[in-house]
Structure 1
Amino acid sequence: MSLIKSVATVGGFTMISRVLGFLRDILMASVLGAGPVADAFFVAFRIPNMFRRLVAEGAFSAAFIPLFARKLEADGKEAALTFAGHALSILVGFLLIFSALFMIFMPVMMLLLAPGFTPEGLRFDLAVEYTRITFPYLIAMAVVALLGGILNAFYKFAAMAAAPILLNIILIACLLIGINRSESHVGMLLAVGVAIAGLAQVVFLVIACQRAEIGVKLRRPVFNADIKRLFRLMVPGAIGAGVMQINILVGTIIASFLATGSISYLYYADRVYQLPLGVIGIAVGTALLPMLSRQLRKGEETAAMNSMNRAMELSLLLTLPAAAALMVIPEEITSVLFQHGEFTAVASQATASALLAFATGLPAFVLVKILAPGFFAREDTTTPVIVGIFAMIMNVVLSLFLIRYLDHVGIALATSLSSWFNVLLLFIILRRRGHYTADARLLRRLVGMIVASVIMSVGLYFARENLAGAFTGDLPVRVGALIALVVGGGVLYAVSGILTGTARLQEIKSMLKRRPEA
């Protein structure tokens, strides 16, 4: 399957998931607002999600997919699936013990992960209770990550990309059930919903594997050479593949010391910029890693270099205008999405300020997803961890410095700046090793993308000024005004891109064609 088709598959389902996620967050903002229950649930939801992205989807996927692809190419399907079965049994066994200990000592861990929550206070008690309920989600996601990684190695991306849709559907149902009930009751419903959603995704991926005739069985744990290699790669990968998640966790820890609502503002802003990040960055990175792994296993260095350049081109083509739009109209976006019910205009403005700061780093967040597979596909997870350590130190220092002047916005800005630092180091190292060089086509198109994004930004700015009155009206009027801005900006960028030669319809059509050798 061609790269753009793979990206379209993952991105399409991710778009559906993120749209449902927006509906979920709009309901959540209306029902919970930005109070202590919301802060407690977001911490409870973020902690297992952070470990999921570090251990299951981050370190595990970064190490497992290249090894599985090599096993598949060298020894065939049965040997690769046997390796997967051993990996699954060891991973699940470890996470069962880890989760049990974490849940038992949750009050102590909460002091470390949200030290700003006063012990025995409402936010602290609710966060402990909710996190104990949501934490088994981590185990479920580990199984989903392994099954999804296997499917991706066979270029079957749809099931893994569609699985998160179940989470959003279940949480939306919990919110609808909880309308007109107390906030603490809604928080409990959401925590239970997260646990149920984890189980539902496991069942969904198991069925997808069966339909694809890919049987993965739990096997007696065996620490052979392949498993030892997997865990050696996983240890540094836990940081290297999850630098962004660690940065977000650092932000949560620091934000817990700020005024009530700060964690919620950062959460809602994070949810908005996660839409383009998920649809573009995660989709491209998901499709790129197995493709690079197989190309490098076959010794196709030129093809791998071309894959990275086209992935970079496709990502920037969509990311640069998205980042520009989020920086020009953040207030309008947060007003329409979240300013309802318990979510006040003050909370909306605070969220918009954080969104603007996050948007400055959106291209960097996406580029990390493109550059990291250049290391992971070569079974190098050590280099990204070293880069990640420097990026995390920079994030902590900047956060502590900037919150004195910008409050919660300083945390978002520090996350963006440290991500750019991460990108710069990864790019320099790949280039010096001869693993990546930006070709002339990418550089030429990049200039056109920047010009088209600037033109779009100017158009959005003046359109926003002319529609200012509409954004003080009722919700339907605000929705219509935002749609007009988004559609108008998209059309202006597309026209500018075609005029500057940034995007050519004939090339897009050719990329959509399935390659015979795929």
Structure 2
Amino acid sequence: MSDPELPSAPAPEQKPRSKSLLRSSLLTGSMTMLSRVLGLVRDIVLASLLGAGGSMDAFAVAQKIPNFFRRLFAEGAFSQAFIPVLAEYREKGSRAAVKDLVDKVAGSLGLVLLLVTLVGVLGAAGVSMIFASGYLSDPAKFDLLTDLVRITFPYLMLISLTGFAGAILNSYDRFAVPAVTPVFLNIFMIAAALLVADYFPNPAYALAWSILVAGVFSLLFQLPFLRQIHLLPSPKLGWSDPGVKRILALMAPALFGVSISQINLMLDTIIATQLGDASASWLFYSDRLVELPLGVFGVAIATVIMPSLSRQSTAQSAEKFSQTLDWAIRFVVLIALPATLALVILAEPILFTLFYHGKMAASDILMSSYSLQAYALGLFAFMLIKVLVPGYFARQDMKTPVRTGIKAIVANILMKPVVVLPLAYFFSLGHVGLALTTALAAYVNAWLLYRGLRQQRIYQPASHWPRLWLRYGAANLAMVVVLLGFLMCWADWQYWHTLERIWRLAVVCVVGGVIYLAALLAVGIRLRDFKAHG
């Protein structure tokens, strides 16, 4: 095959330079942190504007539907199937072959997304019935949900194509651009809530349209950066192309393997529509706070290690492959354990500080705090899944995560009647049972994934893990003592003014964080321990 010349620039097929995984993760995490902070601002505005129940229930379900398919299809199954194949083309093929693969994937993916979007828009009522059958008894809420689904569903196509562009950029170690792109969704939603919501019969319509506009802008934003690396797609169909076939074959099982947590969370939303008014809203606010550390650190680490693992697998470097996984797991333990404990202990203060405004009632804050604590218990497992699944997908093993994921879903379904029904019947806390079973199912999934990597000798933990657990445990214990001490002294969060809640929560978080870091240093944990190269 001929290898035509391209304009002078870094050649797409060149081997990526060795980069510090820590530096890349911090870069990606910082960009994601910006997006998540704006996301918190957005959620604060939503709580003030819509409160809980009614329109907020409908909007919470409507925006989750395209996001569910996006994470299942684009960010999940597609990116995990596409990156290993693209890495192999880069290692073994010409730049023309890489460009041809990108063009054919763009055309094939675009056609599928267009068809799915048309089905979703035309069948919005059916989609609403599937995901929120509990709202059928409230025609006004169901009609609002159907309208919102019809408006927001095209976001699936737009953000999935954005995810495709981001997967290419991540493969070429351009992590910052895909990481910062979600900022635009939050900016557009905040602007819609503050500037144009009054011009709509229901503020939820303004928010729905802002999601669609943000999808268009996010896709357009990434295109110039693809042009810089000479991989701006010229879409064409390529169903018979060997590379496209391999990606499709890898995607089919990956639809389950990478998105088990999302499937379980969507099950929570579906069942929550049966539990009465505001249950979906309470879960929405809880989930958003758990998503903050998960998105900033868990997704960032997984995003960074996936190209490295793919390259190491292609180069048959088993030792480096295991070391990369070990580094990622150590980073997860460093972040997830204190985040889990802090969210459980500070659930009520955090929610009162962020969301106790406008139409949000104190009872809604309390109900949301219970489900936040339940979800937070699963944060460590959620993050661990994010870094374990790439250990399989980088080796193009899609079947094992599917098997473990199905077992986790079954465990979740079996636990729900045992946990949810008693909580719903005796305490009106069915939504807490939904969150708790989802957290427990995440641990089932994480354990099965970890055990599989160990049994296949793909991952060999470093010898220092027993000492690390003792050190991390001591540092977390020190932080917990400080946080509990603050709560004993400051217990009246509901009755303080907003500014007073803000400064008190800031003090608690800063002091707790400083104590944790100081304890880490005291037990011998150093930043250099997390330096690794991909």
The whole-number CA distance in structure 1 between the counterparts of 2:314 and 2:341 is 38
What secondary structure does 2:204 align onto? Answer: helix
Counterpart contact for 2:105–2:237, Cα < 8 Å: no
2:182 alignment partner, SS class: helix
Partner of 1:57: 75
What is the deviation of 1:191? 0.6
Q: What is the CA deviation profile of residues 330-365 of structure 1, one whole-angstrom value per residue up to 9, with x for unaligned ones?
A: 100000010111001100011111110011000000
Alpha-carbon spacing, 1:341–1:73, altered in 2? closer, same or farther (3 Å): same
Of the structure 1 ranges 289-298 and 434-443, higher mean CA displacement relative to structure 2 is found in: 434-443
2:121 and 2:154 in contact (8 A); partners too: no
Corresponding residue for residue 336 of structure 1: 353
Partner of 1:367: 384
Which amino acid is the alignment partner of residue 227 of structure 1? V
Matched, 1:220 2:237: yes
For residues 296 and 360 of structure 1, what CA distance do their matches in structure 2 show?
33
Q: Which amino acid aligns with 1:291?
A: S
Instruction: Indicate the residue corresponding to 2:438 in structure 1.
Output: 415
Q: Give 1:390 shift.
A: 1.1
Match of 1:116, SS state, is helix
The answer for the alignment partner of 2:98 in structure 1 is: 80
Q: Equivalents in 2 of 1:283, 1:354: separation in Å?
A: 25
Q: Is the 8 A contact 1:85 1:219 kept in 2?
A: yes
Aligned-residue Cα RMSD (Å) equals: 1.5
Which letter does structure 2 place at the counterpart of 1:264?
Answer: S
Aligned to 2:210: 193
**1:323 is the counterpart of 2:323:** no
Task: Tell me the number of residue pairs that the alignment of Structure 1 and Structure 2 aligns.
Answer: 510
Q: Which residue does the alignment assign to 1:459?
A: 482
Residue 4, structure 1, aligned to residue 26, structure 2: no
Contact 2:117 2:154 in 1 (8 A): yes
Aligned match of 1:23: 41
User: 1:99 touches 1:136 (CA, 8 Å); kept in 2?
Assistant: yes
- Which residue is equivalent to 1:352? 369
Does the 8 Å contact 2:197/2:207 carry over to 1?
no
1:177 corresponding residue in structure 2: 195
Cα pair 1:309 1:442 within 8 Å, conserved: no
Q: Which stretch has the larger CA shift, 148-157 or 20-29?
A: 148-157
Quick one: distance in 1 between partners of 2:41 and 2:430?
Answer: 28
Q: Give the equivalent residue in structure 1 for 2:287.
A: 270
- Does 1:309 find its partner at 2:332? no
Deviations 1:154-204 (A, max 9, x none): 11101100100000000000010246567x521001111111111111001
- Asked if 2 retains the 8 angstrom alpha-carbon contact of 1:251 and 1:399, the reply is no
Give, in whole Å, the separation in 1 of the partners of 2:138 and 2:436.
32
CA contact (8 A) 1:11 1:280 kept: yes
Using the alignment, how far apart are the partners of 2:255 and 2:55 within structure 1? 30
1: CA distance between counterparts of 2:326 and 2:354?
Answer: 35
How far apart are residue 407 of structure 1 and its match? 1.1
SS of structure 1 residue aligned to 2:136: coil
Letter of the 1:295 counterpart = Q
Task: Label 1:458 to 1:167 Cα distance change in 2 as closer, same or farther (>3 A).
Answer: same
Give the distance between the partners of 1:280 and 1:209, measured in 2 at CA.
25
Equivalent of 1:249, from 266, 287, 292? 266
Structure-2 change in CA distance of 1:179 and 1:137 (3 Å)? closer
| Match in the other structure for 1:150 | 168
| Closer/same/farther in 2, CA of residues 31 and 101 from structure 1, 3 Å limit | same
- Aligned residues with identical type, % of pairs: 35
- From 58, 83, 87, the equivalent of 1:69 is 87
Q: Please show how residues 371-450 of structure 1 align to structure 2 within 5 Å.
A: 371-404=388-421, 405=423, 406-450=429-473
Structure 2's unaligned 5+ residue stretches are: 1-18, 424-428
- Structure 1: give runs of 5+ residues left out of the alignment: none
* Deviation, structure 1 residue 35: 2.1
Corresponding residue for 2:57?
A: 39
Structure 1 CA distance, aligned partners of 2:366 and 2:238?
A: 52
1:462 maps to amino acid = G
Q: How much does 1:98 deviate? A: 1.5
Are the counterparts in 1 of residues 62 and 152 from structure 2 also a CA contact under 8 Å? yes
Contact 1:86 1:220 in 2 (8 A): yes
User: 2:202 is aligned with what amino acid?
Assistant: H
State the 4+ residue runs in structure 1 displaced beyond 4 angstroms: 178-182
Deviation at 1:121, TM superposition (A): 1.1
Write the deviation string for residues 242-267 of structure 1: whole angstroms up to 9, x where unpaired. 10110011001110001210000000
Counterparts of 2:330 and 2:529 in 1: how far apart (Å)? 12
